[in-house]
Structure 1
Amino acid sequence: MPAQAVQTPNDAEGCVWLDLLDPTPQEQALAEQLCGQPLPTLADLNAIESSSRISVRKGAAFLSSPLLKKTGTEFQTMPVGFILTEDRLFTIRFQSYQAFEAVTQLVAEQAPAMPAMPATGAAAGSVIAPPHGVVFHASEILVTLIETIVDRLADILESVGDLLDTLSHDIFRQRPQTRVKRNIASWQRDLLQRVGSSGSLCSRMRDTLLGLERIALFLSESRKAAAAAPAPGSAMPVLSVGTRRITPATPGEEEIGPAAYTLPGALRARIATVSRDLSSLDAYLSQAQDKVEFLLDATLGFINIEQNGVMKVLTVVSFIGVAPTLVAGIYGMNFRNIPELNWAFGYWYALGLMGATTVLPLLWFWKKGWLGGIS
């Protein structure tokens, strides 16, 4: 069966994957009825504690992670929730992601040919049945989703590398000397904004990779966790008193035998490969963050050089005005016994002295190279 809208419990009969895209309260309630327990809300998915992002209740695994998405030229993150039960996968998201659409298209291509039903609701269910009669398990859909998301994140990281290379070229390239000061200031402001955007993108990417790494680690060790589950009656009572909406298991609900979210061997191998891919992406991201810090220091260094050049000019201008002012102040004093007072060339002598005290410092500054290269 292809993807279709789920508006009643009967519509979800046999569905393996139930996807909630920005669900309404009615759709959230219907999904909770199908799941048999409360589903996390947007506030629950935004929680940053590890115990809130990965928890188990009544045999179902509640997983969540922030997910990075590119919208135009901007990047933003929104939380995505995965609830894996014994026979169904519930996904909760609040914006569209290309990875989800790609997986939906992938399973639709492998589904038997039959009339497509348009999905008109925010909660859509899919019965994933290939032509050969092998029905995909919910855990396989989850692993496929995570693999596709990691592939998309790798593409974004590749674009980040190209972005940083372009930014590095723009920072260190030779600028034309004819550029006016206001254009230089605008150029520097644009560089700082681009460096800041790159740093924000790397930070959002790290949050996404960290969340996915936790999910991959949990799924890869699910068999070990299930094997360590206590036998009936051997565990201490578990209190369900708490302030969180998603609470631990209540007494009598301890896991017995393999958990429903335990992955088979082939899927554990795939999720282990995903973990290695995430580790390599994390290493690449660390290198990108180091480069962002380097480019930020370089940009600030060039700005300081420009400011030092401006201050140098101001210092020279202020200094060459000190000596002429001193000469004018001396000969402007109203004393009777000034030697040059009655001298016929005293006025021209004073003007020449002021001119010399202006030109000589300029020549000295020019010889030192303090005036060269200042545009």
Structure 2
Amino acid sequence: MAKNSTSPTTVPDTAWLGRGRHLGPEPEQDIRRNLIALRAAGVLDDFLDLDPVEAARSTVLHPRDESADPGPGARRFFEARWRVADEVTVRAQLITYDSGARRKEGEGVNWVLAAEAERVWDARWPSPATMFWPDSDQVAWDQDTVPGVRLRTPNHLPKDDDELRHRLRDCARQSWYIHVVVHEAMTPDAKGQRPLAAFLPPSLRHQVVEHRGTPEQAQIADFALKRELSVRMPRGGAVVLPKVPQGPGYDAERFTVRSVFLDGSEPTELLDRIQEFASLPRPMSAEAEQALTRLRRAWHLLTPDEELVHAQGMVATYAEALEVMTNSRDLYREAAEAAQEALADTTGGDGVLRLPAQSQDKADGSPLSALTKAFGRFREPKK
């Protein structure tokens, strides 16, 4: 699997990471149905559906690696493998979590998804989210972990000033996604309500969250953004929000668009800024880093060739261990025989120890010295 090609604190350019909440009653069943359908259609090479305890115990590549443990509250462990352009293999893991001992009604089930390709990720590839979740509005899997925020559709900013500030701050600090705030210069018609996600490449559609400010919210949205994130909201324009902590390469002026026409046409300038932001190194939270490490180190769904290589490696490992054990056994046997000979010399064969008259610390060649050396071989079997 591809290694991290950037700083360990930023998302590597081979990876796709996502986190959210499913508000429906049977999230795992929704995943299974989608995986089964895509495998039958030939979209997926294969998939696995594991209990978290089983997943931790049966890790193939690193059986004693603690990163295999999905952590507390894990409900189900899914893996899928598919191929994109020119036979590039993509591996992905999705784990569902309960938010607490007792899930409150409407709170939903949390999920974490990590995917990685064998080369640099291409935004034109299919979204990993749609390999596990059905790409349908009928299944509410696309809630961000920030309350009241959803992918795939515009999110109108709260009317309350404090709530608006808190939402923007939480999105910048807690969310794994790219957040864009668009101000409506005037209330758009049905065409103008079309989400930005509809214009984005497939792999970015589930990486971008769109916020909308109504015409009368221009001043308060601008004030909140300036106070919380040091960026400005142009009237009738848009801004791509920085992450907290802010990643390298972000410039507020560069990622501000002065005018966005919400008439159903493609907002080319804004889309270019979003894709440019997506190409920048993005800070990776501790939870995201754990998810990526788990994908790399706790992988179960091997290809036939990988299974063969793994089996050959295990055979070589066992052969080496057997050779070490055999050598140790021979050393122990030799030491035991030497000890028996030395014991016989010092006792005269009747079990009674006989020592020479001179001091034994000067008798280097005495039978007692031979006995001591023989037992010393037991203490150092590796030699």
* TM-score normalized with structure 2 length: 0.26
* TM-score normalized with structure 1 length: 0.27
Which has the larger share of helix?
1
Which has the larger share of strand?
2
Select the structure of larger CA radius of gyration: 1
The structure with higher relative contact order (CA 8 Å, sep 6+) is 1
